[in-house]
Amino acid sequence: MPEQEFDALIEELRELGRAYAVPEAADQRQAVRRRLARPARRRPRARFYLSAIVAALVVAVAVISPARAAVVGAFRRIAGIELRQETARETLPATPSPIPSIRDADLAEARRVAPFPVTSPAVLGSPDRVLLADLDTTGAPRVVSLVYLGGTVRFDQFDGTLEPAFLKTAPNAEWVTLGDGAIWLPMPHPVTYVGRDGVARTETAHLAGPTLIWATGSVTYRLEGLTTLEDAMEVARSVR
């Protein structure tokens, strides 16, 4: 037995194990049950979206391919965000106006008034600003935005079960595995806000930097301003 020569060391290690006090474990029963009970319903929906997207792409390719090699005009959608995979034709307004009815708040207030669970990426610490946008008559925001790192990073979250809120036009996009589905847009791209009334506010169009979009449960997230997918994913994974 090679172990014999190490008997004393092994005994020390076992003793170390016994002496190593670990803080008490949290009771996971309820949390695990909650998590297991929830996403079972979500799955079919995510799959529905995926198949819808695949179908849309197939149709688009079938119609367009003979004329153009590139896939133009196909759109993708992640709950709450519709992505048009084309090169933007219209020029952006010179002075875009912000999303309607924005006001400043703090995280605690955002959590209180938003109709969905407001989260934040732990990695980025506390936000510089918290903005509530497109309030309804009761004051509940449709979009909550957290601004970090002196305004260079922006984290939007909104109820994705509503109709698309953002319209994005980008020629290149990459599918990413995160939440119920995610898209990475590495290049700056125009974004238009679609109001509650379903009207696209072109005056709100602005050029967004690299953006990661993903959906979990009913909430859709948009993280703008991190230059590499790896960094964006890192921040996204720390959202809680």
By the 8 A CB rule, do 239 and 120 touch?
yes
Among 51, 65, 87, 238, binds another protein (CB under 8 A): 238
Determine the interface stretch with another protein among 4-12, 46-54, 59-67, 163-171 (rule: CB under 8 A): 4-12
Q: At its nearest, how many Å lie between another protein and the CB of residue 98?
A: 24
13 binding another protein? (CB under 8 A):
yes
Q: Tell me: does residue 41 bind another protein (CB under 8 A).
A: no
* Cβ-count burial 204-225 (b if 16+ within 10 Å, e if not): bbbebbbbbbbbbbbbbbbbbb
Among 117, 125, 139, 151, binds another protein (CB under 8 A): 125
Please report whether residue 239 would count as binding another protein according to CB under 8 A.
no
Q: Closest Cα to residue 194, out of 220, 161, 163?
A: 163
End-to-end CA distance of the chain: 50
Q: Judged by CB under 8 A, which of 28, 95, 137, 138 binds another protein?
A: 28
DSSP string, 73-113: SEEEEETTEEEEES---SPPPSSPPPSSS-EEE-HHHHHHH
Q: Does 17 bind another protein (CB under 8 A)?
A: yes
Question: Is 235 an interacting residue with respect to another protein (CB under 8 A)?
Answer: yes
Q: Could you say whether residue 153 binds another protein (CB under 8 A)?
A: yes
